[in-house]
Structure 1
Amino acid sequence: MSAAILRHPAYVEWPADARDRLPLTLWNAKAIAEAVGGVASHDFQVAGVEMDSRDVINGDLFVALKGEAMDGYRFLDKAFANGAAGALVDRPIDGPHILVDDTTRALEALGRAARNRTDAKIIGVTGSVGKTGVKEAIFAALERASRGAAHRSVKSYNNHVGVPLSLARMPARSRFGIFEMGMNHSSEIAGLTTQVRPHVAVITTIAPAHIENLGSMEAIAAAKAEIFLGLEPGGTAVIPTDTPHYEQLREAATALGVKVVSFGASRHADVRLLDAIPSANGGSLVTCEFPEGRLCYTVAEPGEHWVANSLAVMAAVRAAGGDMAAAGLALAEMGGLKGRGARHGIDVPGGKALLIDESYNANPASMRATLAQLGATPSARRIVVLGSMKELGDFGPQFHAALAEPILAADIDYALLVGDEMAVLARELGKPQNSALGKPLATAHCLTADEAIELLDDFGVVAGDAVLVKGSNSVGLGRLVDHFTRAR
């Protein structure tokens, strides 16, 4: 290149970015060994980090985790056959590796090293309902605004293994990092948030998920508020106003000296819902107000719960210094996630039917929200396949029985109930007062997903039907979704 070209203003004025000096590769063997206190066998580089040998692709570091029932060491051959560039192990092997005393602790150390080396703006997300969808929407918004320099935890990697794994995967050049944190006992989020060290901590909502272990709604709110413990100095807590636990969350945040930004329909919300109307694509056209002005945007995902989720997204993006207009565009383009709202057109006699896949998780609040949305979905018939809601403990029977009201309000034609805990709902729906013009709602109750597949096949889904499939993941209704979405 000539000297004349190098002096061209376009080159002279090209903005300098300190990230340009950071490595393009995710990790090299020396950096991994230094981070985890291990010994490298070879000089190698990795482009990803994986703990499941089935998911390893070319260039990954395979972490051979050892648990009570499983030893990743057994799957090293599979990992290298799939293209692993190296492995993190607690026993010597022939291939390229980093040798450590404990691979679980080493993964945590690698996650800490990834967090320490970045100057990205970090966002943590938790909540009883909607945390995965909100995390994905925040990521979509910030990835668009940063032109691909955002990173997030994938799937629902939100526990004591998934969080450090997600951190270890974060490139040094990231401008934003978005991490989900989950729990089913107190103190779990406290341990996760101190690893993530977010600049912005989001709580989507408080609902009776995991109430079996925590005992009360107040205890659930306190457990979620643990996310504020890891906030960096000057950090921001993003909390919902439209919950009875708003004051509890606000006080937990202010006690730590962090800034509080609220979202919701309440007049005092910092990011406030002004209006939401149905849009042509089945979603909503939302107008929100915040201190700097107003914004109108489309939310592709249907349902009032996604209107609320969108406000959480806007509040988080604003707090992280992101582009709220880009967030609006991202929300307009988002589709449902597998197991969390994905919509499938399935081939049935006479044409197409709609299957809504909510098979990954369920609690009383999310059940009501998705049933309400089904009730607003135009269809010839409305069919629900509902699996048991887990971790409700002694509260379980009353929460399951209470689903009769939203089922009847949604004008359901057939309710297929799956799991032991659903027996109480089957009895509730069979009561005379829950009959329309003396005709009971068509219901069936079974114990397994495989039985549910047979019963739904026997009932016969036809063109124009809308089928909602929702339950706790352990019920296994994902198998039913796979059965009916395969080419038939």
Structure 2
Amino acid sequence: AGPHVRGADTTRALDDLARAARARMGGTVIGVTGSVGKTSAKEALFAALDRGMPGAVHHSIKSYNNHTGVPLSLARMPRDARAAVLEMGMNHPGELAALTRLVRPHIAMITAIAPAHTEFFADESAIADAKGEIFQGLEPGGTAIVPFDSPHRDRLIAAARPHAGHIVTFGLDDGADVRAIEAMRLPTGASFVTARLGQRELSFTLAQPGMHWVSNALAVLAAVEAAGGDLGLAGLALAEMGGLPGRGARFATALAGGEALVIDESYNANPASMRATLAVLGEERGRRLAVLGEMRELGEDSAAYHAGLVAPIEAARVELALLVGEAMTPLARALEGRTQVVHVPDTAAALARLPALIAPGDAVLVKGSNGVGLGRLVAGLRNGM
């Protein structure tokens, strides 16, 4: 065996390393959570801060957001980091309360509340309460960043009030502290956004398409301002940010006679993120195909959540839906007579069927829960099937 330290309890030892790394770091720590958008917002916030402090911003890699990933992210944080952006996730009550006390953020952001992991929660309000635990670890005088447009806004503000020195809201609706007063889609699929932050306005191009990304960008700007960062440089970073693999990356796949556009959202899915990305697909030209994997951990309402995707599928004018997984059965039935449907049991079957379904000029969205394994299908499309 190589050099090592032997401990009686490896979990406790990892947490102790995390606490030590956090204690020695004198910069600004930002915690990010939410039912949807937390990894994307974390990456966008890192890019926005790093543009103004190149090489001095630490952040969680991938989705290192659980009881192992968070302390690992803290333990590898450089002593001289000027800022750190740390993602925190949960699927049970009490998990975020423990993680946020390790992270001790100066700024705590919630991107959105939506049905996710609902088999572990009584209702969406309970999910909001669990996400609101992130504010319990705020450093004295810290800032809580809350989604203004959320139906759970007041619940989240109430959760933040005992712990936060400042509460900042972001959103598309009038009344938000940081809000979009203009969001215009450009021919490239990007958006031109004018945001108002108090008495100031910032106009910038947002590379990522979709109104859900406009909301993410507003949250990022709120956090950059709270951290004392450069808003102008943050806007430049948002203009240059490409899609993340599994979370909006776009590429052309070669086909006989041409190519098709692929929108890779294969990393995860819940009802809210399905609606948001289907809306993005609906803005694309050409024939629209949706390869949708089942959404997991939705509990006893799973059938209703799946069948409820009919409306966003129709609004996006999807001409063909390739549905993957047994839990997609209610949606397949609901789409009968409305949209062409191919329903298969797993990703292997989807891989076998897709080459005969896709054609040059198509726009193809691929999205499903990570456990479905649609990343393998995306890899096949990257390699030309």
Q: Work out whether the TM-score is over 0.5.
A: yes
SS at match of 1:99: coil
Give the equivalent residue in structure 2 for 1:28.
none
Report the Cα offset of residue 98 of structure 1. Answer: 2.1
Which deviates more from structure 2 when the two are superposed, residues 104-113 or residues 445-454?
104-113
Distance 1:120 1:294 in 2: 27
For 2:351, the equivalent position in structure 1 comes to 453
Is the partner of 2:156 in helix, strand or coil?
Answer: helix
Alignment of 1:218-367 (within 5 A): 218-367=125-274
Match status 1:462 vs 2:369: no
Aligned partners of 2:143 and 2:164 also within 8 Å:
no
Is residue 37 of structure 2 the alignment partner of residue 130 of structure 1?
yes
Tell me what 1:478 maps to: 375
Residue 200 (1) aligns with residue 107 (2):
yes
For residues 118 and 175 of structure 2, the distance between their equivalents in structure 1, rounded to whole angstroms, comes to: 29
Q: Aligned to 1:393, which of 296, 299, 306? A: 299
Mapped partners of 1:297, 1:109: distance in 2: 42
State the alpha-carbon separation in 2 of the partners of residues 457 and 487 from structure 1. 9
1:102 maps to a residue whose letter is D
Contact 1:193–1:227 (CA<8 Å) still a contact in 2? yes
After TM superposition, the structure 1 stretch with the greater mean CA deviation from structure 2, 217-226 or 348-357, is 348-357
Contact 1:356 1:468 in 2 (8 A): yes
How do 1:10-21 residues align onto structure 2 when only pairs under 5 Å count? Answer: none
1:444 aligns with 2:329: no
Deviation of the 1:487 alpha carbon: 4.8
Residues 279 and 298, structure 1, Cα contact 8 Å, conserved in 2: no
Aligned to 1:417: 323
Assess if the C-alpha contact under 8 Å between 2:144 and 2:164 holds in 1.
Answer: no
1:226 aligns to what SS in structure 2? helix
1:271 and 1:107 map into 2 onto residues whose CA distance is 37
Structure 1 residue 119 and structure 2 residue 26: aligned? Answer: yes
Q: Among residues 396, 402, 427, which one is paired with 2:333 in the alignment? A: 427
- TM-superposed CA distance for 1:122, in Å, is 0.2
How many corresponding residue pairs?
385
Give 2:335's aligned amino acid: L
1:215-236 deviation line (CA, Å, top 9, x unaligned): 2011010000000000000000
The whole-number CA distance in structure 1 between the counterparts of 2:164 and 2:186 is 40
Distance verdict in 2 for CA 1:337–1:390, change over 3 Å: same
Superposed displacement of residue 100, structure 1: 2.1
% identical equivalent positions: 56
How far off is 1:266 after superposition? Answer: 2.3
Question: What does residue range 9-158 of structure 1 map to in structure 2 within 5 Å?
Answer: 93=1, 95-158=2-65
Larger Rg over CA atoms:
1
Please list every run of 5 or more consecutive structure 1 residues that lacks an aligned counterpart in the other structure: 1-92, 435-440
Could you tell me how far 1:148 is from its partner in structure 2? 1.5
Report the secondary structure of 1:397's partner residue.
Answer: helix
TM-score, length of structure 1 as denominator length:
0.78
Q: For residue 311 of structure 2, what is the aligned residue in structure 1? A: 405
Distance change in 2, residues 1:285/1:257 (3 Å): closer
